[in-house]
């Protein structure tokens, strides 16, 4: 029960700070646990922190790209505002995650 609550707090923290520092160390400091504990929580869910963060950032970009309120923004601006530091990494990950949606 405590693990579930802690994981929820960490995922909420991640969502709130997605465009900033969401490293295991930063999350651990904010949540007052160890970085290893943060990693173990995601491992217990069959994932990793980095995979979770990547998925959340990709979802954020996808939402913004399809939102008419962001029609005047460039793709690069949306990508960087979503926490990505590198367009090439984004392109590769975005294609991999959303290829099914593009193919249809």
pLDDT tens-digit map of 73-104: 999 999 999 989 899 999 999 988 877 554 44
Domain boundaries, the chain: 2-51, 57-103
Q: Is 26 exposed, middle or buried (0-12, 13-18, 19+ CB in 10 A)?
A: middle
pLDDT confidence of residue 99: 77
CB 75 within 8 A of CB 65: yes
d(C-alpha 10, C-alpha 30), whole Å: 9
Please state, for a pLDDT cut of 90, what percent of the chain lies above it: 79
């Amino acid at each position: 029960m405590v693990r579930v609550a802690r994981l929820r707090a960490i995922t909420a923290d991640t969502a709130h700070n997605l465009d900033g520092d969401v490293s295991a160390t930063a999350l651990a400091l904010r949540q007052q646990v160890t970085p290893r504990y943060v990693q173990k929580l995601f491992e217990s869910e069959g994932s990793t922190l980095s995979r979770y963060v990547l998925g959340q950032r990709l979802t954020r970009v996808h939402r913004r790209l399809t939102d008419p309120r962001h029609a005047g923004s460039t793709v690069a601006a949306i990508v960087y505002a979503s926490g990505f530091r590198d367009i090439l990494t984004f392109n590769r990950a975005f294609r991999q995650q959303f290829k099914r949606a593009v193919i249809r």
